[in-house]
Chains A and B, each alone.
Chain A
């Protein structure tokens, strides 16, 4: 698939047009279809099992988060970001905190950065577990999915120890975390690092060299690097095409430059490459988590920036200390006087560049906030990627792109 063909060109190549009196079948893939995880719709024109043309419909779960955010103080926007890519909510949370910190000019201590890195990489692992195991489900192998899913649960238990929530975490605060990691966090993360790689290896063995799986995924939904870049694709889906673009390396944030890891890249940009890339990214993330954990444990117990204007004072201080009470009140009411200006900050989300464009007019809420959601961009490429392929391929491609409806619609 080099340059994108127009519909007419594509139709002209089809042998079926010898009998143009027979119309194509319209098939509604979604909004309620088991493979459209979340809600979105594809209106497919089918020639038997072959897809002639696909058209996407989005907006089924549009909740107007960007507009809601314009009426909320900064710290109240964190729970909105949870609901973008709900498979890796902590990355969204951290991305938002980093954006606001960039606006406010807060410098976070190294330990806070490492804590964030650890949480973000755990979230990345959880997201990739879901994406790759669901790819297995969509090709018909349910066993791998249920087998590795309990480790995603285990990551959720780690979140639970950090912030008390599991899926929509609302983790951390502007300036750091609300509390230090407790012993159980370290214990559970160590256990995860010890036991998960073997489980993942088993999962990989089940699919990676499986003839049926390879036949199903190779050369399906392939996209060239050029087309992918034109669409604005990022993350694992772009790296599968052979472009080594990763924000953690190209524009390091949150002290990622202190870590030693590699960026896996693919060659063909097909479904199989995306699967392999995500597998390898899980390995790299495990290594980052290990490095971060060692550093966190060896450092002093600092878990937030020392910014009394923006970071909530400890509760016991609020009851005893006048200054603390004032700051508590002001921060809770959103009266933190942010500077006027606009910032863009992007983090390497689990499935691509997750950006926050924040315009502040100095008021208590953002003047304008825009989320750059990678899923929104991937889904635009979907019709081109499945055109001329079979219905089964469309399902597999959709799940390997990891389109999350919450992030797609915002």
Chain B
């Protein structure tokens, strides 16, 4: 199998896995929410309701496609598309499993090993906010606009703190490639042990970047009706909602890779390269990702949401100074 063929197959597989995981994250979210709230949750479509995501998708496709007369038609359609594309693009640099070696050929379990992987990730995630901004603005609705503005300012504010927390991580690992960072954390040498504060800042920012509770201000349904997606219907709404779950999946994978060793796990790291190691490594990676997805859901159904000014205060007055402090502390440790 040529490398190109393998890459294409792998990219399609990653694509499929991202969509599949996102799909079942919606199911997990509903089931977990039901569990936390002492309810049953979806249980009609298939055994234990496992076909519910499919049913939801089909339902959304059959809904009326509504485009407000006063909206900017082109941007209105472009908004959800941009949001979905950028969400899917982020998975390119994530190393999902250790390299697979068959008959002397090495197959990397990563779509693209960029030497600036983290920067790429960062850039693409930042692009995602354009989807929200464009969609919210094109709707020509005040609630949508408020949601879009909130999303934009929130993402900009939290990206700074997130970037600074990654700076100190990069200082520890001296590489921008996600793969190098994961490879350095073999066994128990996970970055969380060296960067506990950085991890806390990063996870708070990850919640804000994915627009999940307690930072779900752009779409908070009790104030802004639906926020930036108030006017969207049918699968356009579906894309917005669905892309959020892809973001959750990718953020969880990034959290696992950057701070929890990705596919590294004590015995798995010691195995010889081969199908077994790849498989186990992949499982470890997905277990860690699953844990973070669970964390995302758990927090959403526990905490109330912030108010807009409090969110900004937290970002600018707490997280950024802390992140700078973290950079300084890390620098001191490296120096001495």
Interface residues, chain A, with chain B CB atoms under 8 Å away: 25, 27, 33-35, 49, 136-143, 146-147, 150, 206-207, 210, 212-213, 215-216, 390-393, 395
| B305 at interface by CB-CB < 8 Å | yes
Partner of A34, one of B225, B304, B310: B225
Bound-state Cα–Cα, A35 to B309, Å? 20
Inter-chain contact A140/B222, CB cutoff 8 Å? yes
Chain B residue numbers with a CB within 8 Å of A212 are: 214, 303-306, 310
> Of B33-41, B43-51, B103-111, B260-268, which binds chain A?
B33-41
Chain B residue numbers with a CB within 8 Å of A215 are: 306-307, 310
> What are the 3 tightest A-B residue pairs by CB atom distance, in nearest-first order?
A140-B305, A139-B304, A146-B37
| B302 at interface by CB-CB < 8 Å | yes
Inter-chain contact A213/B223, CB cutoff 8 Å? no
- Minimum CB–CB distance for B165 against chain A, Å: 21
Inter-chain contact B307/A216, CB cutoff 8 Å? yes
29 A-B pairs in the complex with CB atoms less than 8 angstroms apart = A27-B142, A33-B225, A34-B221, A34-B225, A35-B222, A49-B308, A49-B309, A140-B213, A140-B214, A140-B304, A142-B33, A143-B36, A143-B302, A146-B38, A147-B38, A206-B302, A210-B304, A215-B306, A215-B310, A216-B304, A216-B306, A390-B308, A390-B309, A391-B146, A391-B223, A391-B308, A392-B223, A392-B307, A395-B223
- Minimum CB–CB distance for A142 against chain B, Å: 7
| B220 at interface by CB-CB < 8 Å | yes
Bound-state Cα–Cα, A91 to B129, Å? 50
Q: Answer whether A140 and B216 are a contact pair too, CB < 8 Å, given A34-B222, A49-B146.
A: yes
Bound-state Cα–Cα, A212 to B304, Å? 7
- Minimum CB–CB distance for B51 against chain A, Å: 24
| B316 at interface by CB-CB < 8 Å | no
- Minimum CB–CB distance for A399 against chain B, Å: 8
Bound-state Cα–Cα, A27 to B144, Å? 12
Closest to B301 in A: A143
Inter-chain contact B301/A142, CB cutoff 8 Å? yes
Bound-state Cα–Cα, A27 to B141, Å? 10
Inter-chain contact B39/A146, CB cutoff 8 Å? yes
Closest to B220 in A: A140
- Minimum CB–CB distance for A382 against chain B, Å: 16
Closest to A220 in B: B307
Closest to A33 in B: B225
Inter-chain contact B303/A392, CB cutoff 8 Å? no
- Minimum CB–CB distance for B145 against chain A, Å: 9
Chain B 304-323: CB-based contact to A (< 8 A → 1; otherwise 0): 11111110000000000000
Inter-chain contact A207/B304, CB cutoff 8 Å? yes
Chain A residue numbers with a CB within 8 Å of B38 are: 146-147, 150
- Minimum CB–CB distance for B283 against chain A, Å: 31
Chain A residue numbers with a CB within 8 Å of B301 are: 142-143
Chain B residue numbers with a CB within 8 Å of A391 are: 146, 223, 308
- Minimum CB–CB distance for A4 against chain B, Å: 24
Chain A residue numbers with a CB within 8 Å of B213 are: 140
Inter-chain contact A143/B37, CB cutoff 8 Å? yes
Chain A residue numbers with a CB within 8 Å of B302 are: 141, 143, 206
- Select the residue from A34, A140, A147 with max chain B CB neighbours within 10 A: A140
Closest to A140 in B: B305
Chain B residue numbers with a CB within 8 Å of A137 are: 222
Inter-chain contact A213/B304, CB cutoff 8 Å? yes
Chain B 105-143: CB-based contact to A (< 8 A → 1; otherwise 0): 000000000000000000000000000000000000011
Bound-state Cα–Cα, A27 to B33, Å? 33
